[in-house]
Amino acid sequence: MYEDFAIKRGSPELLAAWSAVEIASWDILGKRAGLPVYNLIGGASRERVRVYANGWSRGATIEERVERGLQVKAMGFTAAKFDPFPGPWRSFVDRRDEDFAISYVRAMREALGPDFELLIEAHRRFSPAHAIRIGHRLAEFGIDWYEEPCLSENIELVAEVRRAVPIPIVTGEAIYTREAFFECLARRAADILNPDICVIGGITAMLDIAAMAQPQAVVMAPHNYNSTLIGLAATVHVSAVIPNFRIAEYFVNFADLCRDIATASLAMQDGWIELPTSPGLGVDLDVEKLRAHPHQEATHRGFRQYWEEYPRKGYTPSLR
C-alpha cells in the first residue's frame, strides 16, 4: 500500500486504511493462534490499563460543564481531558477568551479536588507567545498536562513552549508517521506522546514509536478518538505491553452505541480496563447492528454548533 500504491507518499487517509488492515491482521492472527494480541507482541507487563475520560464536556455554561465533570468523577474516573478555550481556533487569543478558560479550569479544580487529574487540550491553536502565557497561568491549578498548544507540523513551536512552561507537554494526535515522531523526539518537543493507533499504521507502528520514546524518557498516552471497540482494543493491547505507558483516552460519549453494536467488548470500571483474555483483540461486532448506523458526512454546521454551545451566560467569545 505504502511503497507500491502510494509510492511512499503518506496521508491520513492512506495511513488510516493501512491501520485498519494491520489491526485486523493482528486480530486474525490472535484468533488463529488462540492467544490475545498482547501475547503475540511481547506479553503483558501490567494486568489492566488506566484510561481518562473525554467526550463529556458539553454545556452552555461553566457551571453545566463542571456538573458534567462531577458526573465523570462519580463514574470512577480519576482523570479527564477537556478544551476550556472558547471562540474559533485562532493563533492570537483575545484576553477575554483566555480569562474564560482560566475561570473554567479554576472551577474544575475547585469542584473535583486536588487529586483529580486535569488534562488540558488546546487543539494546536496558539502561537508560542500565547501558549506560554496561558501555560504559566494554568500552572497554578496543578494540571497534569498541556496538550498540543501549537501546530505540530512545525514541531519547533511546540518545543519552544515545552522549554518555557512548567507543565508536561503532549503532542502526537496530528502526527502520523514514524519519521515525524522521530523528528519530534529529536527536537525534545514533548514529555508525552499521544499517537492514534488508527491513523499511524496500527499496532506495529505504535510499538515502534513507544520504543523510540523510551530512551528519551518520554511516555505514551495514546489518543483514541475512534470508538470504545476496535480502536480502543488495539490501544489496550499495545498499552499492556509497552513499559513507558502512562494512560489512554476513553470517549465516554461513544460507549453506549459501541456497547449496542458489540457482541464482545472491553470491561471498563473505575477508570481502568481489565486486559481481555479471549483470542485476538477481545472484541467483536454485530455487523447488522453496525450497518444500522451508516456513516454521515460531517458538515460545517457541526463545528458552528460546538462554538454556539460554548459561551457562558452573558459572554460572547471574540472573533466569532
- Residues with a known catalytic role: 123, 223
Residue 50: φ, ψ to 5°? -80, 140
Q: Locate cell 504559566: which residue?
A: 136
Cα separation of 302 and 48, whole Å?
36
Write the DSSP symbol of residue 276.
P
Burial-class residue 287 by CB neighbours within 10 Å (0-12, 13-18, 19+).
Answer: exposed
No. of helices (H) and no. of strands (E), the chain: 11, 12
Cα separation of 292 and 248, whole Å?
29
Residue 31: φ, ψ to 5°? -70, -40
Question: Helix, strand, or coil here: 188?
Answer: coil
Q: Locate cell 463529556: which residue?
A: 56
Burial-class residue 282 by CB neighbours within 10 Å (0-12, 13-18, 19+).
Answer: buried
CA dist 20 to 57, 151, 280, 306, Å? 29, 26, 14, 29
CA dist 275 to 7, 192, 223, 234, 267, Å? 38, 23, 18, 11, 8
- Enumerate the H helices of the chain as residue ranges: 12-33, 62-74, 95-112, 128-138, 155-164, 178-186, 203-213, 230-241, 255-261, 287-291, 300-309
Contacts of 27 (CB under 8 A, 6+ apart): 37, 280, 281
